Chain A
Amino acid sequence: MSASVAVKSPVRISIAYQNWHRFSRNPTAVIGAAIVAVVVLAAVLAPWIAPHPDHVGAIVNFRARHQAPSAQYWFGTDNVGRDIFSRVLFGYRISLLLAAVVLGFAVPVGATLGLLAGYFGGWTEIVIMRLTDVALAIPPLVMALAVTAVLTPNLLHAMFAIAALWWTWHTRLIFSITRTLRHQEFVEAARTLGASRFHILFRELLPNCASAILVKVSLDFGFVILIGAALSYLGLGVQPPTPDLGTMVASGADFLPDRWWESLLPGAAILFVALGFNLLGDGLRDLYDVESVR
C-alpha cells in the first residue's frame, strides 16, 4: 500500500490582501503613499486647515512683510506679508489639479492609441507610432513655453500644452505591452468565441496593462507637477495673485539668500510632493514587478 501524504487545504487569501501585505513591507513605498496622502488631504482641506486662508487672494499685509518662519506664520511671510504656508497649501491644489487634468486626458488618449497600434499593427501601428515619435521629439517644456506664450499664460493653456504631448509616453507603454500580448492565447481564445474587437481591446488587453498604467500614472503625477512648476517659475503658468508653488519660488528668488524661506520652502514643498509620487510609483513598480515603465 502506498503511503498517503497528508495535505493541508490551502487558505484562501485574496490578491488584494496579498498585494497590500507586500506593499506594506516596503518602507519607501509606504513613505511615498503617506506623503501623497498627506498632500492630497492638505490640498483638499486647504480652505479649512490653512492658518490664514485670506492670504490667498490679492491682499497686502505690509506690516508683516518678510517675516521669518515663526509660530504664527509657519513658513514665514513673503514680500507683501502673506502667509507662505497657507499659500503653499493652496498651491498644492493647483498642482494636483493640473496633474489630474493633464493625466485625465493623456492616459485615456494615450492608452487607446497604444492599444489600437499594438493590436491592429500594420498601417495603424505605423501611423500612430510615427506620430508618437514626432510628438516625443518635442521637449514638453519647450512646447508648453511656446503654446502658453503664444496664447496667453494661464493654467488652462499650460494644461493643454502639457497634455498635448504627454499622451505619447502612455501610447508607447501600452503599445509595447499590447504588442507582446496580442499573440497570446487568451486573445485568440476570445476571438474564436466571437468577441468583438472592442471587447478584446478593452476587456481583455487593457486589464493586463492596468498595473503598468498605475505605476506610470503615479510617477507621472510627480513629473507633471515638476513641469507645471517650471512653467510657472518662468511666469508662463498660473498667474499671480493665485498662489502657485513655482511662481512663489520665482518671486522669492529675488530675496535669496537672506530671506531664504520665501523661495526655498515652496521649493521644498514641490520636492516633497514629487518625492511622494516618485516613491509611491517605485513601490508599485516593485510590487507588480513591472520592468517596462520608465
Chain B
Amino acid sequence: MPDSAWFAAKWDVQLEFLYFLIRRVFWSLLVLFGLSIVIFVIARVMPGDPARMAMGPRASQEQVADLKAKMGLDKPFLAQYGQFAVGLLHGDLGLSFLTKRPVNHDIAETFAATFELVLATILVAFIVGVPLGVVAAANKDGWVDNLVRFFAILGAVTPSFLLALLLQVLAGYVLHALPTTGRVSPDSPFTADITGLLTVDTLLRGNPGGFWDALRHLLLPTLALSAATIGQIARITRSSMIDVSTQDYIEAGRAFGVPDRVRMFKYMLRPAFVPPMTIMGLEFASLLGNAFVVELVFSWPGMASYGVRSILQKDLNAVMGVVMISGVFFVVVNLMIDVLVGFIDPRVRIRGARA
C-alpha cells in the first residue's frame, strides 16, 4: 500500500535537473547585472576627471573636452550607465582611454594567458589535493595526516609573491632548470590560435616541442599559485571524508556486504567530493587575486600586467574592464561548480540552495 505522502510523484529526475539549471543561471545573471552596476558606480564616483587624467596635465581644454565627448562622459549618469550596459551585453567594454582600441580586444589577448594559468592551477589543486585529503583521512591523526596538515598550513600562510620569488630563484638561478619568465621562449614562433591555451594548441597542432616549451613555462607559476589551494582542498577533502565515514549509510553498506574498497572509493568519495568543490568556488576570487601577483612576478602576459599598466596610466575603461572580467570569470566558474555539485548531489537540486 503506498504511503499517502507520495512525494516522488511530482518529480522526474531529468526535469528537476533542468529546473535547477534554470534557477542557477537566472541568479548568476542577476549577480552579473548587479556587478555591472557596482563597477560602473565605483568607476564614475571616483574623484578626479578621468579624461583629464588620461590626457595628462599638458593637454588643452579642447582636447580634454573632445575626449570626454568621444567617451560619452558628458552625458547624464543614467545615460552613461545605459550606454555601458548595452555595450556590455554586446561584449563591448568601451574604448581604452590609452590605446583608443576596444578594451575587450586588449583584454582578450591577455585573458587567455590568465585563463590557462588559472585552469592549470585548479586542475593541479584537485588532482593533487583530493588524493592527499583521502590519504590523510584514512590515516587520521597518523604521521601522514599531520604531514599533510603541515604542508597545507604552510601553503596557506606563505605570501604568493614570496613563494613565486623563491621558486624563481630556486629554479632559475640556482638549478637553471626551468624558465623563470614569460609564457614561451622568446624565439619560438608558436601562437595559441585555437583555444587560446598554448599547451592545448601546441598539442592540437601536433607540435611536441612547442608543447614542452609551453609546459615548462607554465610549471613554476602554476606551482606558486596552487600551493595554497592544494592545501585547502586537501584539508577540506580530509574533513569531508571523515564526516562521511561516520554516516549511517556507510555502516549500512558494510552490513549489506559491500566490500570495503567499494565503500571507500564509490560510496564515500562521491558525497565527500562536494565540499572541496564548493570551497573552490568560494576561494576562486582569492585565487584570481593571487594570480595577478604571480603573473607579475613571472612576467606572465596575462590580465595582471594589462591591468596594472592600465591602473598606473589611469585608463578607466580598461580598469573597469579588468574588474568586470574578473567578476564574470568568478560568476561563471561558480555557476559551473554549482551545476556540477547539483549533478552529483540530488539534495542540492531539490532544495535549490547551495549546501
Contacts and interface: CB of A to CB of B under 8 A. Distances in A.
Are A and B in direct contact (Cβ within 8 Å)?
Answer: yes
B326 A139 contact: yes
Interface stretch (B67-75, B93-101, B103-111, B283-291): B283-291
Nearest to B325: A142
Given A149-B319, A274-B157, A142 B293 contact: no
Interface stretch (B82-90, B159-167, B217-225, B253-261): B159-167
Contact of A133 (B31, B156, B314): B31
Given A229-B159, A263-B165, A267-B165, A139 B31 contact: no
SS of A interface (majority): helix
B330 A139 contact: yes
B34 A257 contact: no
B55 to A, nearest CB: 16
What size tier do the contact residues of chain B reach?
Answer: 35 or more
B308 interface: yes
B174 interface: yes
Interface in A259-294: 260, 263-264, 267, 270-271, 274-275, 278-279, 282, 291, 294
Interface in B174-219: 174
Interface of B: prevailing SS: helix
B282 interface: yes
B311 A141 contact: no
A227 B42 CA distance: 21
Contacts of A141: 286, 288-290, 292-293
Given A130-B34, A263-B165, A145 B159 contact: no
Given A134-B31, A135-B38, A234-B296, A271 B159 contact: yes
Interface residues of A, number: 46
A279 B153 contact: yes
Contact of B157 (A131, A137, A150, A275): A275
A15 interface: no
B282 A137 contact: no
B310 to A, nearest CB: 9
B288 A142 contact: yes
B326 A270 contact: no
Contacts of B77: none
The 10 closest A-B pairs by CB, nearest first: A141-B289, A149-B311, A139-B289, A274-B157, A134-B34, A267-B162, A139-B285, A139-B288, A137-B327, A137-B330
19 contacts: A134-B38, A134-B327, A137-B31, A137-B331, A140-B289, A141-B286, A141-B290, A143-B323, A149-B312, A151-B46, A222-B157, A230-B161, A230-B289, A234-B296, A249-B161, A263-B165, A264-B165, A274-B156, A278-B153
Given A140-B286, A256-B168, 15 more contacts: A131-B34, A135-B38, A137-B330, A138-B330, A141-B290, A141-B292, A142-B326, A147-B42, A150-B314, A230-B159, A230-B161, A249-B161, A257-B169, A267-B159, A275-B153
